[in-house]
Chains A and B, each alone.
Chain A
Amino acid sequence: MPEVPPVSRTLNRRGHAKLAQLCLSGLPFSQVEVDPSRLAVVFYCLGTLDLLGVLDSQVPEAGRIHWREWIWEQQTHGKYGTGFRPSPYMAPEDYKSTHWPPWQLSDDHTEYDVPHLIMTYTALMSLAILRDDFVRLDRAGILRFVRSCQRDDGSFSALPIGGEADLRTTYCAFVICSLLDDWSGMDLDRAIAFIQRCSSYEGGYGQTPDGEALGGTTYCALASLKLAPPTPTSSWGSRVAPAERLRTVRWLSANQSSSGGFSGRTNKIADACYCFWCGASLSMLDAGEAVDTTALASFMHQCQFKFGGIAKAPGERADPYHTYLSLAALALFPPPDADESWQLPPLDPLWNATLDTARWAREHVPAQKRTS
């Protein structure tokens, strides 16, 4: 194990913020594959700026207002309810986004431009990061949309008319319902049964039932089980029984490799994003102390790209996804005795947002404001 502590090294905060701002200002055609998931890229970039604490200081208020406007433009309404689309990549030029409120219109999109469950989650989190007042949120429509995505087996498809249905979409549905503090958008018991069918003998959860244990979807499973309120038939304690918990902790810890980083599967090499997925999972299981935080920071340091951003592994190119998740992992597991460049605000591991952003969301997203 590399024994050099990261004390003498710095986190290239300025470089990471620069990458996020650069991506928000535009992407080259070589990145066209993210067009149908652009709101997710936006979320990773905004999350990066939020963790680095530079949104107020480096983005003028007018800029943030514009960003919020663009995100609201992606809220569309139709027979499946209301949600957010990834970008206007399928919206025709005469699309009317200026009607107010949008849900009083008939369908404002075609069958090929329907809202997307994962994008709806990233839109809500992005708006919370930008401290939106959520006055324009069609709460009832969002819950109807979530319900229209749930399938008979309890899973959720990304689109009400189909598309991928796995633990990632389940997680997004659970976060949306918990953000709204309203679980009428799903059949919770069936959704939990689906999650449990994804549990693998190794201790992690596969992306779908029968799938190999994978770090990212293990996070999705555990966070969902923990976000869900108790039901007459299940609670967090019964959803992850003690023996199962130990088995999962064992598998997660075994994924921290000699490089200091975590791999997503047994016998694979470390990847920066799994430092968050596996690390946050351990923290949800009250086993965060099993993480070697010094080794983790050492790995992150090596994954830093010299011109800014964090890559999945040393020597690779940086991207917004790995940059954000690496910083999120460092926020959960700050290295001991490191210089102040490594100091990041505390993170809510379930919603994957800073505590300040989570607080803002709790106060502004639900229909009835809570007093807490």
Chain B
Amino acid sequence: MSAEFEDVLLYAERPEWRDIVPVPQYQGVDALAPINYSPEYQDATDYFRGIIRTGETSERVLALTWDIIKMNPAHYSAWQYRYKTLVTLGEDLAAELHMMDDFAVANMKSYQVWHHRRLLLTALRSLDAARAELAFIARVLQADAKNYHTWSYRQWLLAHFNDDEAGWLWAGERSWVEDLLEKDVRNNSAWHHRFFVVWASGVRKGDEDREAVCRRELAFAKEKIALAPNNPSAWNYLRGVMEQTKTRLAELATFVQLYAVSGASAPPEVMDLDNPVPTEGAQLPSVNALEFLADIYEEEGGDKIPKAVEIWKSLANEHDPMRKKYWEYRIREALQTASA
């Protein structure tokens, strides 16, 4: 019998599994949404239930759980039992992690894939393993730059290793995000990650001067807005920085006004580094800029409210009629607040 042929034998046909009593699945009343199992899946899971009964942890159990996981990556009990077996046997967890690499790429939308890696990284307690994992995640994101599970896992990993000793682990995050935004300036996951690294996870080494950090981040966002004035990710980041640093929106009025007018204005004679001008051919006015300008007026209140209302009307009727209902809602809210 060739090795190739052995691979397709059912567990029930394998002599080395003869000592295990397979346990079929419970058949109760007529099932709701029953699944038409394949013979291979039914066989493997019968033996898995048999293993649960004996409590065995062994190499062959690793093979069995791997078989089931390949057929059904969402089978969380198989993942659970596999992890327990790995720990009990004192297996090389780094090897397990590596063995799962291709599987993770092929099944990146499966929650269990990433949960398993979390357990492994937690148990490994190694900064080197964490660094290798960051490189692996970057590779996965090349296949799908916005995969939510993968990004969450990266943020978890960094937050898990977030002390003085692990500073170097974080050192490359900001420039890596910049590379991603070079490729796609509308990648909101990358923008979010930048916010997490700079503002929401403590103060990184070299970032102690928060005013300088604020200037740097505003300049970064403005530069990206100049390239693509209608990119909500960059505008949201800008707003996030303003809120985080408790800065009034009006501080950005000069910049925002450049983007709230129709058509590009004549380039200034002296280059104003704080207020980069829109790239040539950009579609103006930017809806996001108009919205920002209206928010500046609303924040100032009083006799500025009618100016905000005027902008919202222009958004509703001319520049963003798709969200007419929302702009009308803003007008009602603002007038109600003003008259209250």
Contacts and interface: CB of A to CB of B under 8 A. Distances in A.
Contacts of B201: 210
Contacts of A29: 35-38, 41
A242 B72 CA distance: 45
A100 interface: no
A95 B237 CA distance: 54
A235 interface: no
Interface string A7-48: 000000000000000011111110111111110011001000
A116 to B, nearest CB: 9
B286 interface: no
Given A211-B152, A268-B146, A93 B41 contact: no
Contacts of A91: 25-26
Given A36-B77, A97-B28, A202 B192 contact: yes
Contact of B81 (A24, A32, A112): A112
A93 B77 contact: no
Contacts of B35: 26-29, 31-32, 34-35, 38
A88 B26 contact: yes
B192 A213 contact: yes
A110 B115 contact: no
Interface residues of A, number: 71
A163 interface: yes
Which of B80, B156, B231 has the largest count of A CB atoms less than 10 A from its CB?
A: B80
Contacts of A253: 323, 326, 329
B72 A32 contact: yes
A66 B152 contact: no
B63 interface: no
Contacts of B324: 292
Interface in A169-191: none
**Interface range on chain B (Cβ under 8 Å from partner):** 35 or more
Contacts of A164: 111, 115
Q: Interface on chain B toward A: helix, strand, loop, or mixed SS?
A: helix
B75 A36 contact: yes
Contact of B156 (A42, A163, A210): A210
A210 B159 contact: yes
Interface in A268-303: 268, 287, 289-292, 295
A341 interface: no
10 contacts: A29-B35, A31-B35, A32-B41, A33-B110, A73-B29, A95-B26, A210-B155, A266-B233, A267-B232, A268-B188
The 10 closest A-B pairs by CB, nearest first: A201-B240, A91-B26, A212-B192, A253-B326, A33-B74, A266-B188, A290-B326, A290-B329, A88-B26, A210-B155
Given A26-B35, A26-B36, A214-B148, 20 more contacts: A27-B34, A29-B36, A33-B74, A70-B31, A70-B32, A87-B31, A90-B52, A91-B25, A92-B25, A93-B24, A97-B26, A112-B77, A201-B243, A208-B155, A210-B200, A211-B148, A211-B152, A251-B236, A256-B326, A292-B324
